[in-house]
Every structure is written in structure tokens, then in C-alpha cells.
Structure 1
Amino acid sequence: MADILVTWFSRSGSTERLARALAQRLGADAEPILASGSYAGATGFVRGVWQSLQRRMPPVRSGADPGPYRLVVVGAPVWAGRPAAPVRSYLRQHGPRIQGLAAFCVSGSGAAYDGVFDDMAELAGRRPIATLSLAQRQVLADEADAAIEGFAARLHEAGAAAA
């Protein structure tokens, strides 16, 4: 078992793609956050946006207990300017067990969504030590390598400082 866990929810696959690339660079364990309901297609998209606007927390499950990890890196798609509802659920459920938190998000615009990270911090009960915002087009076009490397380096530096 590694001492870092990368976990994420992904509706379209772009957040998963970023999460897996980051986990590989960090030598981290990788586990998706699984929602109980489907977010596929137009109906799923609308359901997801509605849940995010309403700050809903649908049931989720994840294979890895975050408690033993020194650092948990949580990835979220941005829905209506907020973290995807399944990520909200995961952080509310597991936040107290997370020792160190880092976060990334993938959005249509790639804008720096400070509100997304503020929501994630509130739900987890701690501020992320580092954050990363990327546009979906960057991730899908493999144009995010430099940003991923920089984020991974910040996480390694933070880990070395904590040791």
C-alpha cells in the first residue's frame, strides 16, 4: 500500500484520466468514487447539475479507506460551479478520517474555481495543501503534463516538509 491515495468521481472520463496520470506520477493508490445512481447521458447530466446546485449528497462507495493514507488527493468535475455531488458525499463521509488533503478539478473552462475548493475544504474539515484546476479539453488533448508534473512536485515537497 502506498502512503498517498488518489480518488475521484468522473462522469465523462476526463477526471478519471487526470486522476490516473497523477496517481502514476505520485506512485499512489488509485480508487474511484462510485455513485449509486447513473449520471450518463443528458438526463444524468441534468441530474448532476441539479444535485450540485442543491448541494445534495447522493450515496457513494469507495474501495479504499482514506484513514491510513498520509495524503488523499480528491478529484472532482465541476458542475454548476461546484464539486460534483458524489465528491461532496465522499468528503462528508470520509473527511474526518483524511489526514492530509489535496484537490483537483476538471471543468469545461479550466477556470480557477476557488469556490469548488472552498466547498471541498468545508466538507472535509481541512484545507487542501495544494489544488489544481484544468480544462477538460487540456486533459483530453494530453496538454496537461506540465501542470500535472508541477502539482505532483508540490505534493512531494509538502510530504517531505511534513516528514
Structure 2
Amino acid sequence: MKTAVVYFSLGGATRSFARAEANARGADLFEAVPEKKYNPFSALVRGCHAAMRQKSVPLSEAPDLTGYGHIVLMAPVWGGFPAPPFNSIAGLLPRGAEVEALLVSASGSSEKSRAKVRALLEARGCRVVAQRDIRSHR
């Protein structure tokens, strides 16, 4: 079964974890790049609000995940929820894929969004095999 690691990163912490995850699994690595880039201010002002409402954003580079049976989605936690590009990636998932949601945060947690993230992924016809937070020390 082919594995893909797909991530969005604002400051680089999630990128580092995604690269390590892909290397450890021998997986293909894809970055989800939003059309309208975020900076720390826009992430706080528009990104957190959109994250808490589980909104997606248009991607300028959307990976083709056809043929991947196992997909690891990684994104930072904004306002207790995955950053909006995570939701965009979820919209690209092939039906029947096994999915892991790995969320990166320096000080927060995705605990309050755990059930909603699972529901989002399962609504795509995917099987959630893992959900966990990764603590960043940046």
C-alpha cells in the first residue's frame, strides 16, 4: 500500500515533522500551498477564525492522492483546530483511504476538535486509523 504524507506549514515546524515522518515511513511527501499565503498576523486574524469553523481555502498546489491507500495529514493547530489548508487536503482524499491526522502545536491542543476532525475525514469515506498531537518546541 502506497503512503503519502501531506502537510501545510506556516513557520516550518510542521514541515520538519512531515519530512521526518515521510522519511521514517518511506512515504511520498506533498506540501499543500494555499493560493493566498498566510503570515503570522493573517494566520491569527483570518486563519484561526476559519480553522474553528472548519473552512477550507483554495490551494495553489494540490497533490494528486489517487493510488495512495494510507495518507498522513499534518498541519498546525490554530484556535484548537487544524489550520484551514488541512480541510482543503481532506477534500482531496480518495474514498477508502486509511488516514492519520497528526497536528502540530507549540502550546495548544486539538482535543476540542478531535471529534469534528474525525467526522470530516469519515465523511470523505476514509477510515481514521490515528489522531494525535505533536508537541513542537519552536
TM-score interval for Structure 1 and Structure 2 normalised by the shorter chain: 0.7 to 0.9
- Deviation, 1:67, is 2.5
Among residues 116, 130, 140, which one is paired with 2:113 in the alignment? 116
The answer to whether the Cα contact below 8 Å between 1:3 and 1:28 also exists between their aligned partners in 2 is: yes
Is 1:105 matched with 2:112?
no
CA distance in 2, matches of 1:41, 1:110: 16
CA distance in 2, matches of 1:57, 1:64: 15
CA distance in 1, matches of 2:132, 2:74: 9
In structure 2, runs of 5+ residues without a counterpart are none
Identity of aligned residues (%): 29
- Root mean square deviation of aligned Cα: 2.1
**Bigger CA drift: 41-50 or 98-107?**
41-50
TM-score (norm 1): 0.73
CA distance in 2, matches of 1:119, 1:61: 25
Residue 129 of structure 2 aligns to a residue in which SS?
A: coil
In structure 1, runs of 5+ residues without a counterpart are 141-163
**Bigger CA drift: 54-63 or 28-37?**
54-63
Q: Between Structure 1 and Structure 2, whose CA radius of gyration is higher? A: 1
Question: Moved runs in structure 1, 4+ residues, more than 6 A?
Answer: none
Q: Which has the higher helix share?
A: 1
Count of matched residue pairs = 135
Report 1:1-163 matches (<5 A).
3-91=2-90, 93-97=91-95, 99-109=97-107, 111=109, 113-125=110-122, 126-137=126-137, 140=138
Counterpart residue type for residue 107 of structure 2: S
TM-score (norm 2): 0.84
CA distance in 1, matches of 2:86, 2:10: 11
